[in-house]
Amino acid sequence: MGYGSGELIIRSYNAQNDRVRVEGLESICEVGPADKPFLFTDTLGDPICRIKNSPIYNMLVAELGGQLVGVIQGTIKLVTLHKPPKNVAKVGYILGLRVAPAYRRHGIGSRLVTKLEEWFVACDVDYTYMATEKDNEASYKLFVNKLGYVKFRTPAILVNPVNHHRSSQISSNFKLTKLKIEEAESLYRIYLSSTEFFPIDIGNILRNKLSLGTWASYPKGETWGKVPTSWAMLSVWNSGELFKLRLGNAPISCFMYTKSSQLIQKFLPCFKLPSIPDFFNPFGFYFIYGVYGEGPLYGKLVKSLCNFVHNMASSKPKDCKVIVTEIGGNDTRSKLHIPHRKSMSCSEDLWCIKSLKNEDRKSVHKLTTMPPTRALFVDPREV
């Protein structure tokens, strides 16, 4: 395709030459459908912040006539993926596709994806996948209709606003304990290693400085040394240390309601009205991952853990505005008990997948048609 301003050049990101220009591009590119409120990303001066904690990563930039007009990022890792004859696959994850508004609908996005796929192939990747909002029509058309990706899973994204003026209640019937990293890794390998997209390097995730820890909850009167009759566990990742988000394209009524609810919460707390955080200024968030447990009290235990995380976030700097959890779309038992604001959450995110090897192309159909495991491990490094 001709671009009018010269040849389109796609190359690897160079921090010294490209950092400021990539940040400028990020500042004008929205995340999400353009006809709805969307998010802007503030990378805090480090455009590769979202991928640099992954085992292998790459960022490509597109230049046209000397101007930087597009970027894309990718990561590579080994995960559990049920595809005979083996259950481990090397997967490439695509994220951070941005094209400057003035240069859209000229094929730049598809060229960036294709170039990133070529890098995946050179690294012997089996499958590549991406995540998008279910109603992001432009993204769906590009990946599914044009580039051959197929719908794979529809996880739920649960968002719980942090109330810095009030703590969440934690049941006195349960005991909470912070697990050692070695113990958390062992439990995840025992109970979640067969779930889809479980990262083989789970130990590296848990040891990362952004992982604030892993906590377990169980009934009082029982001991953690023996397997309790009911128990739950989760881990917390501080995404706000990497990048901030900011809401855009929201109606003025939303802005006014946010401000008024905050004033009521501050000066008239007796009304106990739900406060809406200020999303119009850059904010950070905690990401809950590795949610699992067993027993008849699992729901109450996981809720108790989530309330603990809320209280932990509310005691931190006030730029931590929300707690985000992403779970498998059919994990209804967790969804019922993880605190979240329905109006802020997404009941169906969309993951799409594509095989990069001829011998695996038939297995993609099996992967997309076989029933998903209840649990879905969402890597916090890819949020």
Query: At 116, which amino acid appears?
Result: L
Per-residue pLDDT at 318: 66
Which mean pLDDT values do the consecutive 10-residue runs of the chain (383 residues) have?
A: 75 96 87 55 89 97 95 97 77 96 94 98 96 89 95 91 84 95 97 91 97 97 92 96 74 43 44 56 91 96 96 83 91 94 87 86 70 80 91
Task: Tell me, rounded to whole angstroms, the distance of Cα 173 from its chain centroid.
Answer: 32
What local confidence, expressed as pLDDT, does residue 244 receive? Answer: 86
Question: How far is 290 from 325, CA to CA, in rounded Å?
Answer: 9
pLDDT computed for residue 214 by the predictor: 98
Residue 269 has a pLDDT of 46
Query: Which residue's structure tokens are 């170039």?
Result: 115
Cis peptide bond N-terminal to 219, omega within 30: no
pTM listed for this prediction = 0.88
**Helix or strand or coil: residue 16?**
helix
- In the chain, DSSP assigns E strands to 8-12, 38-42, 56-64, 67-83, 86-99, 127-133, 150-153, 156-161, 174-179, 211-219, 231-238, 244-248, 284-294, 320-327, 349-355
pLDDT of residue 81: 82
Q: Rounded to whole angstroms, how far apart are CA atoms 94 and 34? A: 20
Domains of the chain in sequence order:
8-154+348-369 (3.40.630.30), 159-242+264-344 (3.40.630.30)
